[in-house]
Structure formats: structure tokens, C-alpha cells
């Protein structure tokens, strides 16, 4: 049993390392919060950790853990460069937006996945980097309407007239 376990564990570790791409995604903050109807803006940098290979950035894919969260990946296409040379790091860019549905319940939505696609040329769409982000939906504060200042003025004037009269 021990003989089978160690090679299997070693193979699993090698397989997971083989799937990991050369891109590292570093968020300014990977956990953001907002109320239902808000848009969360995830910013960060992308690093090509390869010492030898240029990586072309051809796309981005995202998977949400809830139907109440919708990714908008368009900011990536506006801000990310077309490729990263070995060891190159992007400036801080908008990576994507996460739209919270107006009907979303309050609570944490963790482990939403983002994948940067690309490869050795601009026709490659393999996963080159991945990360997870969390979104926390908070309850909107209830608002109590304030009385009109004009109404308060009339009430104050009426009370003053009663006291004098």
C-alpha cells in the first residue's frame, strides 16, 4: 500500500505542476465587498515567471461560484499587453470586473476562478495562469427618510407662536 501511495502522490504533484502556467497573477486585493447591484473592480499585476519564454496573452476566462456574480473580462483586453517577455511584470491594471446581481443575497462567495489564456504565439489559448478571488456581498444599509427642512422650519415657527401666544 505504501509503495503505491508514494508514486501516486509524486505523479499527482508533477501533474499539477505541469498544468501551472508561467504567469503569476497578483491582486491588489483578492477579496472585495459590495452591496447587491455593485460592480467590484479587481486590479493587479501579471508576471511572466519564465526565464526563457515570451508568453502571448490572448484571452481570459472566468468561472463564478454563483449565478448572482457575473464576470466582465473586457477590462483585461483594454489594459493587458499582448505579450510578456521573460521576467516581465505588467503595471497595475484592471484585470476584470465582477458584477453583483441586484437580487444577490448577502454573504461570502469564495473561490471564483480566473484564467489567463495564451501561449508561445498569438494563436494559442492555453491556460497560462490562474487565480481565485472572493466577493463578499453585504446588506445595504436601510435608509430612513429625513423630514424636509422646510417642514421643520414651519413646525418650529408654529411651536414658537404657541409659546408666545
CATH number of the domain at 31, please: 2.60.40.10
Q: Phi and psi of 12, rounded to 5°?
A: -65, -40
Does 156 map to a domain?
Answer: no
Does 5 map to a domain?
Answer: no
Mean pLDDT across the stretch 123-128?
97
Does 153 map to a domain?
Answer: no
Give residue 149's pLDDT. 74
Give the pLDDT band (50/70/90) at residue 16. Answer: very low
Which residues, at least 6 apart from 1, have a Cβ–Cβ distance to it below 8 Å?
A: none
pLDDT tens across 33-42, in order? 999 999 999 9
Helices assigned H by DSSP within 58-106: 74-79
Most confident of 2-11, 104-113, 133-142, 146-155: 104-113
Give residue 115's pLDDT. 98
Mean pLDDT across the stretch 95-117?
97
Does 102 map to a domain?
Answer: yes
Which residues, at least 6 apart from 11, have a Cβ–Cβ distance to it below 8 Å?
A: none
| Cα–Cα distance measured from residue 37 to residue 132, given in angstroms and rounded to the nearest whole number | 21
Mean pLDDT across the stretch 76-88?
97
Domain that holds residue 81: 18-142
Does 55 map to a domain?
Answer: yes
Give residue 54's pLDDT. 98
Domain total in the chain: 1
Does 164 map to a domain?
Answer: no
Does 30 map to a domain?
Answer: yes
Which of 17-26, 117-126, 150-159 is least confident? 150-159
Q: Is the pLDDT of residue 13 over 60?
A: no
Amino acid at each position: 500500500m505504501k509503495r503505491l501511495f508514494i508514486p501516486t502522490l509524486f505523479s499527482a504533484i508533477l501533474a499539477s505542476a505541469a498544468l501551472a502556467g508561467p504567469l503569476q497573477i497578483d491582486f491588489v486585493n483578492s477579496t472585495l465587498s459590495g452591496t447587491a447591484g455593485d460592480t467590484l473592480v479587481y486590479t493587479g499585476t501579471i508576471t511572466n515567471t519564465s526565464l526563457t519564454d515570451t508568453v502571448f496573452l490572448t484571452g481570459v476566462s472566468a468561472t463564478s461560484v454563483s449565478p448572482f456574480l457575473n464576470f466582465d473580462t473586457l477590462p483585461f483586453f483594454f489594459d493587458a499587453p499582448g505579450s510578456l517577455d521573460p521576467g516581465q511584470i505588467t503595471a497595475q491594471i484592471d484585470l476584470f470586473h465582477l458584477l453583483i446581481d441586484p437580487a444577490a443575497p448577502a454573504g461570502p462567495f469564495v473561490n471564483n476562478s480566473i484564467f489567463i489564456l495564451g501561449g508561445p504565439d498569438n494563436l494559442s489559448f492555453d491556460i497560462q495562469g490562474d487565480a481565485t478571488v472572493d466577493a463578499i456581498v453585504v446588506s445595504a444599509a436601510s435608509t430612513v427618510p429625513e423630514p424636509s427642512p422646510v417642514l421643520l422650519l414651519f413646525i418650529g415657527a408654529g411651536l414658537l407662536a404657541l409659546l408666545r401666544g
